[in-house]
């Protein structure tokens, strides 16, 4: 639904945010009050904006307010946000799968959680994309809608363990990929979260024992073993997103960054509308590896270099070094060494390259935060 479309009847959870809707007189009063509190040139004790878009609630306040508004456990809501974006809204720029903001509200040909959030909250799509407070409320509204569709009652909504099926739906995948998404969120709840939002704001989730009620999802078939790399699982990309066979000799390995989460990227490569894929995807937290295209086939990942290269995607975002963990580097380097040895690819930077270095590409990944020196030492050693 576009922002110009007639608004449907609001759900019982619809809220109207007052942020950004103050009159000029009210803004003048607020400014005067701020000067009285801080003095000219002083520092206010209140939290600054979470997203750099002007006065507004902190991200901690947004998580708490949204959780109360929609009856979603605050820590669950924060864990979903951290798992999606590490609390970084990326200035309203979309992920590879068309997801926006801290809560990764998606608008692509097959998923429309961004438009769903607009319908539920009454906020325009543009606000949900760019404003962190609106985006967090939108994510909470979508989660609550999934809970309602699953028939969760008030007591169940207070129990973080009962939200597992709703969280799995929020990830937008199906089968083992949906389970992978929800498992990641519950791993974060168990381990705890210590994240940093824009402006240096600290957002935390205390660790706790979790025993998620997986319902029928616990019976999902385990992922199959990779046919080409023994340390990976096999989740095939949709056939529309790669080509069987190769037209050129394999002589390169291309390093990518997903611009999205691990499970979200796997789900996107399974979507026939994506028209993109990679051979392997590596998770940030522990280096888990999923293969999606056979080595012998041509993934759509590097334009003119597709036919002569293997593509490895790494969970995260180019502008956020927090995703590039030691576990990820070591796991990826082990994979790269295996592929190089298996296919006779030289262990040098002319043949192990970034997406930005592939001929005919305009991408920037893996970006300035990727430590090539450390990575190549791991590959060689």
How much is the pLDDT for 167?
Answer: 98
Give the separation between CA 341 and CA 329, rounded to whole angstroms.
18
Give the separation between CA 303 and CA 129, rounded to whole angstroms.
29
* Banded model confidence at residue 217, pLDDT cuts 50, 70, 90: confident
How much is the pLDDT for 219?
Answer: 57
* Banded model confidence at residue 121, pLDDT cuts 50, 70, 90: very high
Q: Which two tokens stand for residue 16?
A: 């109207």
How much is the pLDDT for 65?
Answer: 98
- What is the per-residue pLDDT across 21-72, written as a single tens digit (0 to 9) for each? 333 333 233 333 333 333 333 333 333 344 444 568 999 999 999 999 999 9
- What is the per-residue pLDDT across 124-139, written as a single tens digit (0 to 9) for each? 999 999 999 999 999 9
| Whether the predicted pLDDT of 199 surpasses 90 | no
How much is the pLDDT for 49?
Answer: 40
Closest to 331 in 3D by CA, of 280, 381, 282: 282
Half-sphere exposure of residue 116, counting CA atoms within 13 Å on the CB side?
A: 20
| Whether the predicted pLDDT of 99 surpasses 60 | yes
How much is the pLDDT for 198?
Answer: 83
Give the separation between CA 51 and CA 146, rounded to whole angstroms.
27
| Whether the predicted pLDDT of 19 surpasses 70 | no
CA distances, 216 to each of 99, 158, 164, 168 (Å): 28, 21, 11, 12
Give the separation between CA 300 and CA 221, rounded to whole angstroms.
28
Could you give the domains of the chain? 24-219 (1.10.530), 224-380 (3.40.80.10)
- What is the per-residue pLDDT across 276-334, written as a single tens digit (0 to 9) for each? 999 999 999 999 999 999 999 999 999 999 999 999 999 999 999 999 999 999 999 99
């Amino acid at each position: 639904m576009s922002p110009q479309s007639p608004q449907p009847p609001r759900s019982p959870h619809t809220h109207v945010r007052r942020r950004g809707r103050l009159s000029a007189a009210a803004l003048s009063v607020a400014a005067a009050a701020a000067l009285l509190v801080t003095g000219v040139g002083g520092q206010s004790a209140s939290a600054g904006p979470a997203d750099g878009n002007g006065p507004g609630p902190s991200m901690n306040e947004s998580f708490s307010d949204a959780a109360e508004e929609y009856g979603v456990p605050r820590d669950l809501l924060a864990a979903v946000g951290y798992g999606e974006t590490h609390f970084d809204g990326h200035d309203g720029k979309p992920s590879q799968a068309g997801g926006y903001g801290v809560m990764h509200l998606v608008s692509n040909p097959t998923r429309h959680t961004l438009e769903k959030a607009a319908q539920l909250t009454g906020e325009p799509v543009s606000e949900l994309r760019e404003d962190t407070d609106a985006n967090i409320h939108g994510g909470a509204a979508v989660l609550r809608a999934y809970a309602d569709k699953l028939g969760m009652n008030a007591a169940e909504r207070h129990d973080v363990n009962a939200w597992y099926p709703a969280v799995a739906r929020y990830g937008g995948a199906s089968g083992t990929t949906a389970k992978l998404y929800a498992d990641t969120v519950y791993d974060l709840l168990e381990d705890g979260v210590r994240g940093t939002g824009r402006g240096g704001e600290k957002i935390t989730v205390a660790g706790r024992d979790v025993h998620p009620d997986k319902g029928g999802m616990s019976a999902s078939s385990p992922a199959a073993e990779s046919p080409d790399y023994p340390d990976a699982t096999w989740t095939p990309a949709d056939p529309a997103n790669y080509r069987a066979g190769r037209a050129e000799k394999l002589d390169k390995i291309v390093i990518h960054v997903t611009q999205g989460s691990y499970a979200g990227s796997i789900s996107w490569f399974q979507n026939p509308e994506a028209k993109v894929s990679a051979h392997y995807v590596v998770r940030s937290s522990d280096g888990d590896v999923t293969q999606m295209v056979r080595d012998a086939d041509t993934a759509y990942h590097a334009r003119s270099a597709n036919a002569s290269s293997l593509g490895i995607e790494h969970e995260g975002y180019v502008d956020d070094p927090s995703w590039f963990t030691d576990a990820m580097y070591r796991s990826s380097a082990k994979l790269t060494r295996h592929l190089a040895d298996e296919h006779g690819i030289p262990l040098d930077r002319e043949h192990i390259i970034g997406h930005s270095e592939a001929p005919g590409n305009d991408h920037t990944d893996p970006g300035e935060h990727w430590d090539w020196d450390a990575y190549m030492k791991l590959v060689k050693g």
